Amino acid sequence: MQKNNAQTLLIVEDDVGLLTQLKWHFSDYNVVVASNLNDAIIAIRLHEPQVMVQDLGLPPDPDGVTQGFALVQQALEINPHMKLIVMTGNDCNEHAIKAVSLGAYDFYSKPVNPDTLELIVQRAFHMHQLEAKNRAFNLSKSSNLKGLITGDDKMLKVCKLIERVAPTNAACLLLGESGTGKEVLATSLHSLSARSDAPFVAINCAALPENLFESELFGYERGAFTGAVKSTPGKFELADGGTVFLDEIGEMPLQLQAKLLRFLQEKVIERVGGRKLIYLDTRIVCATNRNLEEMMAKGEFREDLYYRIAEIQIDIPPLRDRSSDKILLARYLLKKYAQEENLKIVGFTEDAISAIEEYSWPGNIRELGNKVTRAAIMCEQKYISAEDLGLKSVDPIPLNLKVIREGAELNALKTTLNATGNNISAAAKLLGVTRPTLYDLMKKHNLSIN
């Protein structure tokens, strides 16, 4: 059985028998157990469970202090977002209410029926997930970078870093796959700096022909070469006082890397065909989707240039590694496009949401934007489907997984019992479980062999 490692459940119970039973019952979650307050606190810090099931009647500690309520309080202090379910004795309604007033999510009266408890636990995980998404959405609104939407922790860290280094003159290198937002971040570095009133000049190093590199970047004097009819400032000069964004720096040929390095070291340029040195105050921001370290090892990128341009290196995570951003951005991009074009599209169908989650987005936000725009144009309904997006339709995973698991388990039991002529020992051996476990499984599925 495959575990859902993303979902961690902490069970705190001092009755060893019950603890074992529950641990087995919830085995498709990542279960962590504890039998007293101290171990539970350690487990909360270490494993950060989303849901905790706790026996409120834990025995008092050696000093005679009851542990149940103390644990509720301390657990929620450490992790206020965790969903805490307390188990109380049969006639302990007052205790249950007190626990809820302390912040517990729900309560459950013993004796324990694992199936009923499981429903509560499932709902708690679901609620936790919804709230986490909601928090992420709210956080995204608090990003100070214009036009940048995210709710992902890694990406929010990147935003914080951008905000912190923007006012400095540090040379920043933005590393990320195609379409991850390198240009958006480079623009933010400029607009959040004291240079924001001066120009931001973007130069695509991949699109610059080698023979035009110098004249484009450094400018030229009249008569410097055939066709140089008037003196023209280069891009660096145009960006004086502002920011130069060297996009796709990894594509720059070695010979040109040497020229760029000279400018970075001396902060001075000479126009082609000119004799005057021109001192410039520009900030350099570079970006690439190439692996510069590998290129340096192969001698394709100068190490000295790398250290000049990468005073601060910023790694931008790809969209597939940003939790909840796929849907967040899909909705944002759709809303933006629908508003611009005055379209009546409201949102995505459930299968579209699952397909967006499932797909790996090699072209990142750029690809997401393209697919959403195309779908919005093609879609004749209010809701965009997976097909409109050109994505494979997938079943909504979380809802069906349990059903699939249960079905597979029941099938395996039936097949094995048939194959062994209802011999419990042989069937247990075949299934790789103990006899008591097999009995429990049969009971759970209402299977009898009489």
Chain residues binding ligand ATP by CB under 6 A are: 147-150, 176, 178-184, 289, 329, 365-366, 369
Give whichever of 157 and 402 is closer to ligand ATP, judged by the CB atom.
Answer: 157
Contact status, residue 116 vs residue 131, Cβ threshold 8 Å: no
88 to 117, contacts with Mg ion by CB under 5 A? Answer: none
CB 202 → Mg ion: shortest distance, Å?
Answer: 8
Torsion of CA 351, 357, 363, 368, to 10 degrees: 50
The entry of ligand ATP, Mg ion, none that residue 319 binds, CB within 5 to 8 Å by partner kind: none
| Long-range Cβ contact pairs of 198-201 (< 8 A, separation 24 or more) | 198/239, 198/240, 198/241, 198/242, 198/243, 199/238, 199/239, 199/241, 199/242, 199/243, 200/239, 200/242, 200/243, 200/245, 201/235, 201/236, 201/238, 201/239, 201/242, 201/243, 201/244, 201/245
Give whichever of 182 and 271 is closer to ligand ATP, judged by the CB atom.
Answer: 182
Give whichever of 105 and 245 is closer to Mg ion, judged by the CB atom.
Answer: 245
Residue nearest to ligand ATP (CB): 181
CB 283 → Mg ion: shortest distance, Å?
Answer: 18
CB 326 → ligand ATP: shortest distance, Å?
Answer: 11
CB 130 → ligand ATP: shortest distance, Å?
Answer: 22
The entry of Mg ion, ligand ATP, none that residue 366 binds, CB within 5 to 8 Å by partner kind: ligand ATP
Count of chain residues binding Mg ion (CB under 5 A):
2
Give whichever of 68 and 179 is closer to Mg ion, judged by the CB atom.
Answer: 179
Phi, psi of 286 (to 5 degrees): -115, 160
The entry of ligand ATP, Mg ion, none that residue 289 binds, CB within 5 to 8 Å by partner kind: ligand ATP
Contacting Mg ion (CB under 5 A), which of 14, 39, 183, 251? 183
Give whichever of 49 and 176 is closer to ligand ATP, judged by the CB atom.
Answer: 176
Give whichever of 182 and 322 is closer to Mg ion, judged by the CB atom.
Answer: 182
Per-residue HEC secondary structure of 22-43 comes to HHHHCCCEEEEEECCHHHHHHH
251 touches Mg ion by CB under 5 A: no
**Coil vs helix vs strand at 51:** strand
Contact status, residue 338 vs residue 368, Cβ threshold 8 Å: no
The entry of ligand ATP, Mg ion, none that residue 9 binds, CB within 5 to 8 Å by partner kind: none
The entry of ligand ATP, Mg ion, none that residue 148 binds, CB within 5 to 8 Å by partner kind: ligand ATP
Stretch that binds Mg ion, among 131-139, 175-183, 214-222, 403-411 (CB under 5 A): 175-183
Report how far residue 54's alpha carbon sits from residue 57's, in angstroms, rounded to the nearest whole number: 9
Report how far residue 450's alpha carbon sits from residue 438's, in angstroms, rounded to the nearest whole number: 15
Give whichever of 57 and 369 is closer to ligand ATP, judged by the CB atom.
Answer: 369
Contact status, residue 354 vs residue 394, Cβ threshold 8 Å: yes
Residue 205 bridge partners (DSSP): none
* Sites of contact with Mg ion (CB under 5 A): 182-183
